[in-house]
């Protein structure tokens, strides 16, 4: 394990030298990662927004790996090409892509890029034959009233394209554009449950790779650290600030801040399996 950590550090130094980035610009982010690891958190997901817009995302991934964390990245796939795609396939534990249907038309209705479906299919095809791939592939699907009848059509993609986990999220107007457009996309609990059940039925023996996150289970389920260090959880479909990862006792917040640690442990166990 020590040799593995040293290997991650060497890779990070090579990247810094290649890009000409001063070592000091990573100190603040590394401090946050150090605190995450020390608090007993086992899995770290870089998400957004779009994490591939962060200039030093590769260095942060390698540093998190060097601290013994399981590292995942969630992306819309637009920037996932060339060298950065190869890097993700080699270095991540999990690469998660957002996909809300089986056509570009469905993606457009879900406000994604018009060629989003084609792009994700290209990445899945590339990853399936990539010889140095070390990461596993996951899809995240937001189920709303715009795509609820088409989500089950994605089953052949999951079964045939090497996807190892598939998570269905009930659309909830939590933050950003989702809160602004909530009325246009909101789906009832009953309709979401029916869509999720249709997926599981269609998956047959592979249904255990599908996980479901409904309106109730999203409460207190994600310990979200924002770029400024603020830590937020969802509380009654509103963000509640617990503290700051760079200034406060992260271990205490992790243990006593109202976050559902059982949910974290369950997701981490599923990611390891």
Q: What is the mean pLDDT of the chain?
A: 83
The pLDDT of residue 260 is 59
pLDDT at 20: 45
Give the DSSP H or E segment for 44.
Answer: strand 43-46
Look up tokens 């018009």; give the residue: 114
Contact of 74 with 46, CB cutoff 8 Å:
yes
Q: What's the pLDDT at 155?
A: 97
Kindly list the strands in the beta sheet with 230-235, ordered across the sheet, starting from the edge strand earlier in the chain: 224-225, 230-235, 238-244
CA distances from 38 to 28, 67, 69, 212, 261 (A): 16, 9, 10, 29, 15
Each residue's pLDDT tens digit in the chain (273 positions)?
434 344 444 443 433 334 444 444 457 788 889 988 988 888 999 998 899 999 889 999 999 999 999 999 999 999 999 999 999 999 999 999 999 999 999 999 998 888 999 999 999 999 999 999 999 999 999 999 999 999 999 999 999 999 999 999 999 876 555 556 667 899 999 999 999 999 999 999 999 999 999 887 766 567 788 878 888 877 766 777 888 888 888 888 777 766 555 655 565 565 555
Instruction: Report the pLDDT value the prediction gives residue 8, as an integer from 0 to 100.
Output: 42
Q: Give the pLDDT score at 181.
A: 66
pLDDT of 22? 46
Q: Are 51 and 44 in contact (CB under 8 A)?
A: no
pLDDT of 7 reads 47
């Amino acid at each position: 394990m020590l040799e593995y950590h040293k290997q991650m550090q060497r890779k990070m130094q090579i990247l810094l030298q290649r890009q000409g980035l001063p070592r000091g610009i990573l100190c603040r982010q590394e401090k946050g990662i150090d605190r995450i690891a020390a608090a007993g958190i086992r899995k770290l997901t870089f998400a957004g927004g779009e994490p591939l817009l962060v200039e030093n995302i590769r260095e942060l991934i390698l540093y998190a790996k060097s601290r013994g964390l399981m590292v995942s990245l969630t992306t819309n796939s637009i920037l996932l090409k060339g060298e950065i795609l190869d890097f993700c396939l080699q270095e991540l534990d999990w690469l998660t892509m957002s996909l809300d249907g089986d056509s570009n038309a469905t993606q457009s209705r879900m406000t994604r890029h018009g060629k989003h479906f084609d792009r994700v299919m290209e990445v899945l095809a590339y990853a399936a034959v990539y010889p140095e791939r070390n990461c596993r592939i996951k899809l995240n699907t937001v189920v709303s009233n715009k795509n609820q009848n088409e989500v089950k059509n994605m089953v052949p993609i999951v079964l045939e394209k090497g996807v190892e986990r598939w998570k269905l999220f009930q659309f909830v107007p939590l933050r950003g554009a989702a809160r602004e457009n909530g009325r246009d996309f909101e789906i009832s609990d009953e309709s979401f449950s029916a869509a999720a059940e249709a997926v599981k039925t269609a998956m047959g023996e592979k249904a255990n790779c599908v996980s479901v996150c409904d309106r109730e289970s999203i409460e207190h389920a994600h310990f979200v650290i924002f770029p400024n260090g603020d830590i937020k959880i969802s509380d009654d479909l509103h963000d509640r600030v617990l503290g700051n990862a760079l200034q406060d006792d992260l271990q205490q917040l992790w243990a006593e801040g109202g976050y559902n640690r059982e949910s974290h442990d369950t997701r981490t166990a599923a990611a390891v399996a």
